[in-house]
Amino acid sequence: MNYSTALKNIRTKVILFSLGFILLIGVYFFLLNFYSKKILSQIQEINSLKEKINQVQAALQKENQLQKLKILIEQKAGKDLPAILFDIQQKLDRDFEKTKNLISEKIQKENWQVIKTSFNQEEKKLNFVFKIPDSDFSKFSDFIIEEGLIWQTTDLKIDKNNDFWQIELNLKTK
Amino acid sequence: MKKVKLAIIIIYIIFFVLISALTIFFIVKTVKKGSDLYFEQKQPASFELPFKEQDIDNLIDLLRKLKLL
């Protein structure tokens, strides 16, 4: 083996060695990158779990606060919440017939003088014009407020004629 | 032959330094990004009651005044 052949062999070995070296570095770089991304994705997974736990805790806190609010309302009102809502609904959602009967019965019971009544069942509108004695005015106002008719009233005209109040009551029902 | 041996030793040293640098770089990068991600400050979900106790008292009083209760 002469000198040039030996040099050629050494050069080939060095080139092969360098190539192997570059390949190893490349593989190592790939592995490091792969595991780095894997670790980061697992941290993100932990974060999303933490986020979910926070959301559940917030929902529990919200539920707890609303429960406290419900208990507080029930304590102050002295009734269950469904009963409170039922009472309010009863007064606000009175239908056409019930409203008509309620007012007619009251007028009849108190002997108030009816001047005019008109009902429009299609539009669910009621109109009562009647006269009440001066002394009955508080009865009328109590009746309107206690029965919740104030919520159904669309127009109310009151005129005083001597010792009488002439009242025109317009209502809209459900 | 001495030169070849020297070249191989230098290549080994470069190899070692590169591998160490790469490892340290990826460890630092992963730890930094990971800690940033893990300790990321997020707005804690909080819930405020829509009413205070005084508001409820007022509401109940109002409902009583309006004969709705």
Indicate the CATH number of A94-172 among 3.30.70, 2.30.230, 1.10.3470, 2.70.98. 3.30.70
pLDDT at B25 over 90: yes
Residue A14: what pLDDT? Answer: 79
pLDDT at B17 over 80: yes
pLDDT at A68 over 70: yes
CB spacing of A33 vs B68 below 8 angstroms: no
CB spacing of B19 vs A28 below 8 angstroms: yes
Residue B47: what pLDDT? Answer: 72
Q: What is the pLDDT of residues A83-109, one digit of tens each?
A: 988 888 877 778 888 899 999 999 999
Which residues of B lie inside 8 Å of A (Cβ-Cβ)?
A: 4, 7-8, 11, 15, 18-19, 22-23, 26, 29-30, 33-34, 37-38, 40, 42, 44-47, 49-51, 53, 56-57, 59-60, 63, 66-69
Residue B43, H or E segment? none
CB spacing of B29 vs A14 below 8 angstroms: no
Instruction: For chain B, give the mean pLDDT.
Output: 84
Residue A146: what pLDDT? Answer: 82
What is the pLDDT confidence band of residue A7, given thresholds at 50, 70 and 90?
A: confident
Residue in B11, B42, B60 nearest the CB of A76: B60
What is the pLDDT confidence band of residue A114, given thresholds at 50, 70 and 90?
A: very high
Which residues lie across from A153 on neighbouring strands?
A171
Residues of chain A found within 8 Å of residue B44, distances taken between Cβ atoms: 54, 58
User: Span B20-38, mean pLDDT?
Assistant: 93
pLDDT at B43 over 80: no
Instruction: For chain A, give the mean pLDDT.
Output: 89
Gap between the Cα atoms of A57 and A61, Å rounded: 6
Instruction: Give the three-class secondary structure for A93.
Output: coil
CA distance B51 to chain A (A): 8
- ipTM rounded to 2 decimals: 0.72
Gap between the Cα atoms of B39 and B33, Å rounded: 10
Residue in B37, B44, B68 nearest the CB of A91: B68
What is the pLDDT confidence band of residue A1, given thresholds at 50, 70 and 90?
A: low
Domain ranges of chain B: 2-65
Q: What is the pLDDT of residues B51-61, one digit of tens each?
A: 788 888 888 88
User: Span A53-78, mean pLDDT?
Assistant: 89
Write down the pTM of the prediction.
Answer: 0.58
**How many residues would you count in chain A?**
174
Residue A112: what pLDDT? Answer: 92
Residue in B34, B56, B67 nearest the CB of A146: B67
Measured torsion, CA atoms of residues A88, A92, A95, A100, in degrees rounded to the nearest 10: 110
User: Span B29-45, mean pLDDT?
Assistant: 86
Q: Per mean pLDDT, which range of A64-78, A146-160, B44-58 is the poorest?
A: B44-58
Residue in A32, A54, A145 nearest the CB of B44: A54
User: Span A53-66, mean pLDDT?
Assistant: 90
Spatial CA neighbour of A76 closest among B1, B28, B26, B62: B62
Residue in A32, A61, A148 nearest the CB of B22: A32
Residues of chain B found within 8 Å of residue A63, distances taken between Cβ atoms: none
pLDDT at B32 over 90: yes
pLDDT at A11 over 90: no
